[in-house]
Amino acid sequence: MDQVPKFICFICGQELLEKESARVCTFCGMQEQGEWVCPGGHYICEECRLASPEEVIKRVCSSTKSSDPWEIATLAMRHPAFRSHGVEHHLVAAPVVLTALVNSGQLELEKEKISTAIKRTADIPFGVCGSRGDCGACIGAGAAVSIILKANFTSAKERSLVLKTAASALLRIAEFGGPRCCKQSVYAAVETCVLVSRDELKLDLEIGNKKCPFARRISDCKKERCPYY
């Protein structure tokens, strides 16, 4: 007798159960008939299964009702298109912060601006934190503030705050020490952007659970040396 293959939910790690039923996609909210069920209630539709990191972020940001940027970032990074480390993490910080502000009712934003936020960090190469001293996630924090303020290179106070945001995020990561961790960088960028928005722009976002769920997946996790462990 052939053994039924085991499939694991990549969101929570539980074994999927074979049971056809109507399911709602965890990433985009679309409902469809699914053949496998996660005991934790997670499900991913066919389109999201095949999505690129950029598409995943857009789908998550367009469907989520959350006003917690940490929660939104974590959901996007749970998708298998996000490796332990990689340039796809550069794309996360700006759109999730903007989405959280929109969902909290503190910002009105055209839908196209999410794509704009992603494009502003899409050309940053892998490993630049070590080769030239910047980080795509931190630049994403600056991009978020730039879009909020509609800043450009001729702006005065707005340009300064964009630079301050990116610089503060970079300094935070530098103070953590150790080798690179792209998840840590995303979280630090998001947290920095929230603090700058609160102190400078009077935009108040709340971050709930500041715990990284990816430690077991990352072989060189800093563990207790990371504030998010």
d(CA 78, CA 88): 12
Cα–Cα distance, 214 to 83 (Å, whole number):
10
Of the ranges 11-20, 87-96, 144-153, which one carries the lowest mean pLDDT score?
11-20
Q: What type of residue is 18?
A: E
- How is residue 100 written in tokens? 């959280």
The tokens for 90 are 């550069």
Asked whether the predicted pLDDT for residue 4 surpasses 70, the reply is no
Between 2 and 110, residue with greater pLDDT: 110
What mean pLDDT, rounded, does the chain reach?
A: 94
Confirm if 196 and 168 have CB atoms less than 8 A apart: yes
Pick the range with the lowest mean pLDDT from 151-155, 172-176, 198-202, 215-219: 215-219
Q: What does the DSSP assignment read for 37-82?
A: E-TT-----HHHHT--HHHHHHHHHHH-----HHHHHHHHHTSTTS
When mean pLDDT is compared over 1-5, 18-22, 193-197, the highest value belongs to 193-197
Which pLDDT score, from 0 to 100, does residue 19 have?
Answer: 87
**What is the per-residue pLDDT across 32-74, written as a single tens digit (0 to 9) for each?**
998 888 999 999 999 999 999 999 999 999 999 999 999 999 9
User: Over the stretch 184-227, which tens digit does the pLDDT of each residue have?
Assistant: 999 999 999 999 999 999 999 999 889 999 998 898 999 999 99
154 falls in which pLDDT band (50, 70, 90)?
very high
Q: What does the DSSP 8-state code read for residue 215?
A: G
pLDDT given for residue 13 in this prediction: 84
The whole-model pTM stands at: 0.92
Give 5's pLDDT tier (boundaries 50, 70, 90): low
H-only helix segments in the chain? 46-49, 53-63, 69-77, 93-103, 112-119, 128-131, 136-149, 157-176, 182-201
- Find the helix packing angle between 136-149 and 182-201, rounded to 10°: 30
Which residue, 158, 98, 169, is CA-closest to 135? 169
**Could you tell me which residues are beta bridge partners of residue 1?**
none
The amino acid that residue 180 corresponds to is R
Among candidate residues 120, 117, 98, the one with its CA nearest the CA of residue 107? 98
